[in-house]
Amino acid sequence: MKTHVLAFILVLAATAASAQTYYIDWKKPNPVVGKPSVASHKRDGTIRNSNGKPKELYFRYDLTGINEKHTAQLCMTLCWFLFPGEDDPYLRPGQNLTENGTLPIYIDLTTNNAEGNSTLKVTLFDKTDTTDALNFDVQFVISENTSIRDAKDVGLAVGPVPSTDALSIRGDELVHATMIGLYDANGELVRSFGSPQSLATSLPLTGLAAGSYRLVLTLQNGTVVGAPVTVVR
């Protein structure tokens, strides 16, 4: 068992990496927003094989971003409750992704009637080629007020709209931002930005395809705000 874990770590540390050969189509955007009075909230999707070769998928997870009162499980063809502490992915059976096939996947968060934000980070990898890995996170915003407020409601100005190479954010609340992410129209996190600790910052948009996005900021008090972003080329 220890040999498996050591081999996995060494391969991930290697500089060479093969092309990603599978992806996830999500049915619900990030973050998942819901009320604590609802027992559980789910983000589900479909893993799709894109290169015609069968794979045996394993996963590892990081619970450091989960609210202490929330619990989570991950399901593919089987479901696993996710426990805090050291994780050995090889203790779980691999999931067979057939040639040009699919696998269901969903993350389920149990609220235990508690408000708060939770982020689960997951790495999927192929047993025969652990560099063929897919990293993603699923965010949950659990609050009695289930709407994501507009950034301008807390005094944040986001622009220009449309934008080309950079996006500017200004406002007093910016110093309280703990997470800033840009999501595409499918709810996928396409770019994460550091916390600026200032009243103004400029976020680079270079390398992003033209289209509609949503900027989401999480503040220290748990408030989540967003703003539409349009990238033109």
Bridge-based pairing state of the strands 55-65 and 95-97: antiparallel
33-42, 52-61, 220-229: range with lowest mean pLDDT: 220-229
Same domain membership, residue 26 and residue 133: yes
Given a cut of 50, whether residue 3 has pLDDT beyond it is no
Element spanning 13, H or E: helix 2-13
Provide the token pair at 158.
């986001």
Given a cut of 60, whether residue 10 has pLDDT beyond it is no
pLDDT value of residue 185: 80
Tell me the C-alpha distance between 159 and 202, whole Å: 10
pLDDT value of residue 42: 94
- Which of 142, 160, 185 represents a domain boundary (last residue)? 142
**16-37 b/e with 16+ CB inside 10 Å = b?**
eeeeebbebebebbbbbbbebe
- Which of 142, 174, 204 represents a domain boundary (last residue)? 142
The band of 9, judged by pLDDT with boundaries at 50, 70 and 90, is very low
pLDDT value of residue 145: 66
In the chain, the number of structural domains is 2
Asked whether the beta carbons of 52 and 100 are under 8 A apart, the reply is: yes
For tokens 């972003």, the residue is: 229
14 belongs to a structural domain? no
Asked whether the beta carbons of 178 and 220 are under 8 A apart, the reply is: yes
CATH number where 188 lies: 2.60.40.1930
Same domain membership, residue 125 and residue 164: no
Provide the token pair at 7.
């081999």
Asked whether the beta carbons of 170 and 156 are under 8 A apart, the reply is: yes
Phi-psi region of 52 (alpha: psi -120 to 50; beta: other; left: phi over 0): left
The band of 130, judged by pLDDT with boundaries at 50, 70 and 90, is very high
CA 6 to centroid of chain Cα atoms: 26
Mean pLDDT of 146-154: 84
25-34, 103-112, 115-124, 142-151: range with lowest mean pLDDT: 142-151
Name the residue range of residue 61's domain: 2-8+19-142
CATH number where 53 lies: 2.60.40.10
When comparing pLDDT for 173 and 2, which is higher?
A: 173
Bridge-based pairing state of the strands 177-183 and 149-150: unpaired
Asked whether the beta carbons of 187 and 26 are under 8 A apart, the reply is: yes
Same domain membership, residue 100 and residue 28: yes
The band of 111, judged by pLDDT with boundaries at 50, 70 and 90, is very high
Percent of the chain, pLDDT > 90?
64
Instruction: Tell me what the pLDDT averaged over the chain comes to.
Output: 88
Using alpha carbons only, what angle is made at residue 184 by residues 178 and 188, rounded to the nearest 5 degrees? 70
The band of 147, judged by pLDDT with boundaries at 50, 70 and 90, is low
Same domain membership, residue 126 and residue 59: yes
- Which of 142, 171, 195 represents a domain boundary (last residue)? 142
3-7, 84-88, 182-186, 228-232: range with lowest mean pLDDT: 3-7
pLDDT value of residue 11: 45
Same domain membership, residue 119 and residue 162: no
13 belongs to a structural domain? no
